[in-house]
Amino acid sequence: MTLEAFPDAAHPITWPEGKRAAASFTFDVDAESCTIAHDPKSTSRMSLMTHQSYGPKVAVPRLLQILQRQDIRATFFVPGFTAECYPDTVRRIVDAGHEVAHHGYLHEPMQGIDAETEARYIDRGLEALAKAAGVEPVGYRAPWWELNWHSAGLLADRGFLYDSSLLDGDAPYRFTVAPGDTRDIVEIPVDWALDDWEQYAFYPGVTGSGVIESPAKVLEMWTLEAEAHHAQGSCFVLTNHPFISGRPSKAVALERLIERVKAMDGMWVTTMEDIAEHTRRTVQEVHTHARIEVLAFPDTGARFTPPAVRESRPAAAGS
Ligand code: ZN
């Protein structure tokens, strides 16, 4: 038994009339939540808290101006805790016409948690987004992009249209939420090379690569990624954190990138919701992820349950 390739990885989707590729600019408004989830004692560090609050307080207004100037709509993934702390920020995002999507409650570490606990986090995040700005999100991005094998079922139970936490594609696809389950959701895959965390994040004792790269280098790298997606007709998804990429020179570089991506012939620059809705309506193929079980590490082979399968379902039958 083997794992199955996506033979059509480069061209798995037909874009709307006149479009040959897609791009979405996404912002994870983690603010304080990700550092608190990482270490609850971090609330005692005043300077660290201000490094994080720079996002909603200073960067989001700046980013909203850039998006308005460039006349594009973006997707903001907002943890429930951020929405509770900064409801005005979330309302400004909504009022500007952007999509607000789900990003956990307190940016909880999802690795290894059971479905019941994860369901509680998701529901608490939903309540917070609804209360802060009347948002009913259709999209989900797991904190730290850590989706569990049971997560998609929890999302389908709650009527989510799409997830954006997996890393096995260049373009959106549909996948079944569990083996044998008739329900599926859309996945819009991400890529660590298209996350500002790796490029710019540095805080003593908290992150990361420890390198704050030049925005000129990052602009070049991300432009090359966008050009490659454009050339092969796939989907460029950039993940930025306002407290990182909303700082002055990084925001300037981001605006230049947006200008370049918009200028690419036939590039559909839009929200994740638009891309997911298009995928649900037009893609018939539904993938099942095979799960690897290592039976007795390290001297035996692996088992895949279930075997990877692809099937056709009527378009628009998804979640
Ligand atoms: Zn995050």
pLDDT > 90: percent of the chain: 83
Residues 26, 226, 269, 29, Cα dihedral to 10°? 10
* CA angle 108–109–112, rounded 5-degree value: 130
The backbone torsions φ and ψ at residue 127, rounded to the nearest 5 degrees and listed phi first, read -60, -40
- Residues 192, 208 contacting (CB under 8 angstroms): no
Distance 107 CA to ligand 1 centre (A): 6
> Does any domain span residue 11?
no
For residues 167 and 304, the model is more confident at 167
Is a pLDDT exceeding 80 seen at residue 109? yes
Is a pLDDT exceeding 60 seen at residue 105? yes
Say which CATH number the domain at 138 has.
3.20.20.370
Is a pLDDT exceeding 50 seen at residue 154? yes
Distance 53 CA to ligand 1 centre (A): 14
> Does any domain span residue 307?
yes
267-287 confidence digits (pLDDT tens): 999 999 999 999 999 999 999
Distance 156 CA to ligand 1 centre (A): 21
- Residues 65, 78 contacting (CB under 8 angstroms): no
Encoded amino acid at 272, one letter:
M
> According to the 3-state scheme, what is the secondary structure of the chain?
CCCCCCCCCCCCCCCCCCCCEEEEEEEECCCCHHHHHHCHHHHHCHHHHHHHHHHHHHHHHHHHHHHHHHCCCCEEEECHHHHHHCHHHHHHHHHCCCEEEECCCCCCCCCCCCHHHHHHHHHHHHHHHHHHHCCCCCEECCHHHCCCCCHHHHHHHCCCCEECCCCCCCCCEEEECCCCCCCEEEECCCCHHHEHHHHHCCCCCCCCCCCCCCHHHHHHHHHHHHHHHHHHCCEEEEEECHHHHCCHHHHHHHHHHHHHHHHCCCEEECCHHHHHHHHHHHCCEEEECCEEEECCCCCCCEEEECCCEEEECCCCCCC
Distance 104 CA to ligand 1 centre (A): 8
Q: Pairing state of beta strands 285-288 and 309-312?
A: antiparallel
- Residues 185, 177 contacting (CB under 8 angstroms): yes
Q: Burial-class residue 83 by CB neighbours within 10 Å (0-12, 13-18, 19+).
A: buried
Distance 282 CA to ligand 1 centre (A): 30
Nearest to 237 by CA among 162, 293, 313, 183: 162
Dist CA 145 CA 251 (whole Å)? 23
Question: pTM for this one?
Answer: 0.93
Highest mean pLDDT among 11-15, 238-242, 296-300: 238-242
For residue 318, the model assigns a pLDDT of 47
When mean pLDDT is compared across 174-178, 205-209, 246-250, the lowest value belongs to 205-209
> Does any domain span residue 288?
yes
Q: Burial-class residue 98 by CB neighbours within 10 Å (0-12, 13-18, 19+).
A: buried
Mean pLDDT of the 289-294 span = 86
Residue 52: CA count within 13 A, CB half-sphere: 22
Largest Cα span, the chain = 58
Q: 164 is in which domain, residue-wise?
A: 21-312
> Does any domain span residue 8?
no
Q: How far apart are the first and last CA of the chain?
A: 30
For residue 12, the model assigns a pLDDT of 66
Radius of gyration of the chain (CA): 19
Total tally of structural domains belonging to the chain: 1
> Does any domain span residue 135?
yes
For residue 10, the model assigns a pLDDT of 47
> Does any domain span residue 2?
no
Distance 204 CA to ligand 1 centre (A): 18
Distance 103 CA to ligand 1 centre (A): 7
Dist CA 317 CA 211 (whole Å)? 46
> Does any domain span residue 1?
no
Q: What is the mean pLDDT of the chain?
A: 93
Distance 139 CA to ligand 1 centre (A): 14
For residue 6, the model assigns a pLDDT of 59
Mean pLDDT of the 225-242 span = 97
> Does any domain span residue 12?
no
Distance 190 CA to ligand 1 centre (A): 13
